[in-house]
A and B are shown apart, each in its own frame.
Chain A
Amino acid sequence: MSPLPPRVRASDLARVVARSFLLQALWNPERQQGEGFAFSLRPILTRIFGKDGEAKALARHTGYFNTHPAFASYALGAVGRLESDRAQGAEIPDEAVDRAKATLGPALAALGDSLMWSTLRPVAAALGVTWVLSGSLWGPLLFLLLYNALHLYVRVRGVVVGWRMGLGFWEEGMRRRLSRLRVGLRVAAVVGAVALADAMVRHVAAAPSPTAPGALVCGAAIGLAWGEGRRLSASLLGLGLFSLALAWATLVR
């Protein structure tokens, strides 16, 4: 009977967290974060399979995987735990590990995208921009602090919780806690939206041009009417707006 492989250490988990910052270094349309997932998991696989068996184990993890980059930490911890349990003798087939990744990817993406990209980033940015418009130099720092406080917490905590609880981390309690956090962020988003509107009105009120209030309202109406996922990019719309202004300034003297 072959001896049991060595147990994974806390330092291995710390290295998984550090490597997860390069999860998207080789992002590609075919496998998206596949290579990055295997790269991040490598400290655990090396510990379990040793230098001789790690290449084979890594090859099993380079397949398609995609989720929110910060929330991938939960999947890394949980899949690392599955691999460790398997090495310690638990009967877990390859397909079960693949199935776990295929299930966790979209679930964590839905959670992470709505929490981080659709809520936290706009809230932090709106507050940062508001500070800049009020004349403060600390707007960008506020933005970075607000976003990264949760971002870095999720990166570290995800690997630890995923490792401790395995696939069980995805239980009702976690979903409830995160949905409470989402409600809190929604309220912050409303505050951010009003603060931004206020800063904008103050900024334009200070402009000497009599056309400024009308132009602000027209621009705001276009921005509000433009929806996510439209074929026409907002940047293109902005360029179009400037082109119209330039045409007017050139033709009407």
Chain B
Amino acid sequence: MLGGWLAADATACFQLLVSQPLVGGALAGCVWGDAYAGMQVGALLQLFALAGLPLGGRTPEDFASAGVVGPTVALTVKGTLPTSSFAAPLVLGVVSGLFVALVGRLLVRWLRARNVGLAHWVDGELGRGHAGALDGAQGLGVFHAFAIGAGFTLVSTVVLAAATRAAVRFDGLAVERAATLAEPALWGMGAGLAVRQLVVGGRHTRLLFLAALVFWVAVRWLGR
């Protein structure tokens, strides 16, 4: 249900950005009883989500489903690892989320292509004087987005949770070691992507950012 709601919010209705992984992660975390863990996975996915802008006719990656699947996978494998550190569940959740975002994009593209047929049907009905057909088609558009989002979230959660648990059972130690290295690298990459988005907009913004960064380093250094 959560996956469907967030998928519908992403494009079809409202667009209050509840579908962004930062919020989706918190909601999924609440559902599984650990809101802060879900939020952490969502926060890292959010930094990656910032790299894709839904401009013009471009179909963005499906970070609405990723925001639910990622935290769910992380919380599912949390208790199965050799150590109690959250680094490995976090990385496995984020990796699952990134995979879902990529695959989900194909599904969103397919759904949008399907809407062409519905739009042509509306044309015919309006030509016959049935104005209500437009409202019906719009409702169907929202329902399709909800149903496909919910189905995709459910299937990918089940498959990826099983796959990650199997990987952990196969060689949990290697997964832990990989996560120890990958976790700061992924945070760094996410931050780099976000900073790049934040300081676009000409030389003045970049200079202001550099000045602010130098000021921040000086304050931190003096504070030591």
Contacts and interface: CB of A to CB of B under 8 A. Distances in A.
A140 B199 CA distance: 22
Interface stretch (B54-62, B73-81, B152-160): B54-62
A42 B198 CA distance: 38
B198 A126 contact: yes
A147 to B, nearest CB: 5
Number of chain A interface residues as a range? 35 or more
A14 interface: no
B191 A196 contact: yes
A132 B41 CA distance: 10
B23 A140 contact: yes
A165 interface: no
A204 B95 CA distance: 19
Interface string B200-220: 110001001100110010001
A153 interface: no
A30 B57 CA distance: 10
Interface string B43-61: 1001111111111110001
Nearest to B95: A242
B69 interface: no
B51 A30 contact: no
A48 to B, nearest CB: 13
A194 interface: yes
Contacts of A213: 184
A236 B105 CA distance: 13
A145 to B, nearest CB: 11
Interface in A189-210: 189-194, 196-198, 200, 203-204, 207, 209
B22 interface: yes
B122 A219 contact: no
Contact of B23 (A31, A144, A203): A144
A52 B130 CA distance: 9
Contacts of B177: 249
Given A58-B126, A62-B126, A197 B116 contact: no
A221 B185 CA distance: 10
Contacts of B54: 117
Number of chain B interface residues as a range? 35 or more
B31 interface: no
Question: Main SS of chain A's interface residues?
Answer: helix
Contacts of B43: 128-129, 132-133, 139
Contacts of B205: 186, 189-190
A55 B138 contact: no
A181 interface: no
A132 to B, nearest CB: 4
B115 A26 contact: yes
A104 interface: no
A108 interface: no
B106 interface: no
B18 A219 contact: no
29 contacts: A21-B15, A22-B13, A22-B141, A30-B116, A39-B135, A59-B123, A109-B56, A113-B55, A118-B53, A125-B22, A135-B36, A137-B26, A137-B35, A143-B17, A144-B23, A147-B16, A147-B17, A186-B201, A190-B212, A193-B199, A209-B181, A212-B183, A212-B184, A219-B188, A238-B189, A242-B95, A246-B175, A249-B178, A250-B178
Interface of B: 11-18, 20, 22-23, 25-26, 35-36, 39-40, 42-43, 46-57, 61, 87, 91, 94-95, 98-99, 101-102, 112-113, 115-116, 118-119, 122-123, 126-131, 134-135, 137-139, 141-142, 145, 171, 174-201, 205, 208-209, 212-213, 216, 220
8 shortest interchain CB distances as A-B pairs: A223-B192, A219-B188, A28-B115, A219-B185, A219-B189, A25-B141, A249-B177, A234-B51
Given A129-B194, A224-B196, 5 more contacts: A62-B119, A118-B201, A122-B198, A151-B17, A194-B209
